[in-house]
Chain A
């Protein structure tokens, strides 16, 4: 009979396992290290299993890309490329994988954010979704991309800012959780465009003056006369053609679109009125100068985190002014540029922040 050895451990295993779920990475690592050590000494099967589970827990935005093979039923999609896997034959899979990696690195290196939820949420992408599908979306947990119909639209993974746009919807959901209608919804869209464009600029090392400020420049077929889905620099100018007319995005509150809060009305024009805060961010970035992801990006990121579900344009503008003062000083050049930028789109900063107004 093998003698049973019992090791004393000042922290009971059930507490250590609870600590594996801690928000604090150092606490998680310490708990894991302790469990590893004690399990090595004890050789306990249950603890080894627990540790294996902890090690297998995807962390730090681990990527998984699935091939839908033109189905709309995501659970049937096949896992095609996981973190650290070599590139595969499928270019859409590789673009989604690389786009997630770039966006993840952008948020980590620029803002110190660990994936979508700042806790290392795994990044799951689904490509080749549906048949001739002209879209990309965030379903609340993962990002989904269509191939396009080949007549108007191409594969939506072809555009890094589109990939980053969808991933940023997740970031917004885990911060302000801006409601997806009317002004809060337009702000939600604008956050995705702003951080999507910044991701591309960061990768290309472009200054605000050098960037094209286009969203989805790569999603149209060559037959379509369109620069992109949207222009942050000049909302309302991204396209003008016989097939779907002129870009309807406003660039100023004077041209704010009062659309019905229905799906037919794009939930109050969330993809239309986003042109107004988009233009404001462009004006801030070019007004401050240099790289958009530096002072302008930090002002916007801190303001996003300070916003609520019902934050409207005025409240967000006031918050950016407040954050510019906190980060760079009251009456700093950055703060003055923020004020001028919002005035440029018809929003006057009020001195008292008005967060929470719906």
Chain B
């Protein structure tokens, strides 16, 4: 499984859009971490939250997580002020592994 994370917007929007997507390849992760990631992807796919920031938000970021898992592919989009807890959990997990 391969996940890529692209970030747009935010106070440093002109910089964020020039940074390449970050890629997490699960080949290097232990099996239990991959299982957990699949569980988080399934939960976030079922309920990613709103795709756009709530209208009064300023400088909010939007995230696009693309998941390639064998023949299956999915793209999840949400933002700082509209993401569901499931999307937040997936984003946090991906960012921790990228770090």
Interface residues of A (CB under 8 A from B): 70-73, 130-132, 134-141, 144, 149, 152-153, 156, 162, 165-166, 169, 173, 180, 188, 192, 216, 219, 229, 239, 243-245, 247-249, 263-264, 266-267, 270-272
Contacts and interface: CB of A to CB of B under 8 A. Distances in A.
Contacts, number: 110
Given A139-B80, A139-B81, A166-B59, A263 B9 contact: yes
Contacts of B18: 244-245
Nearest to B57: A139
Given A131-B92, A135-B61, A140 B14 contact: no
B56 A139 contact: yes
Contact of A140 (B11, B57, B62): B57
A229 to B, nearest CB: 5
A272 B98 CA distance: 29
Interface secondary structure of A, over-half rule: loop
A267 B79 CA distance: 14
B81 A266 contact: no
B23 interface: no
A136 B59 contact: yes
B60 A137 contact: yes
Nearest to B56: A140
Given A73-B85, A130-B92, A266 B59 contact: no
Interface string B14-31: 111111000000000000
A271 B16 CA distance: 11
B8 interface: yes
B16 A134 contact: yes
A134 B15 CA distance: 11
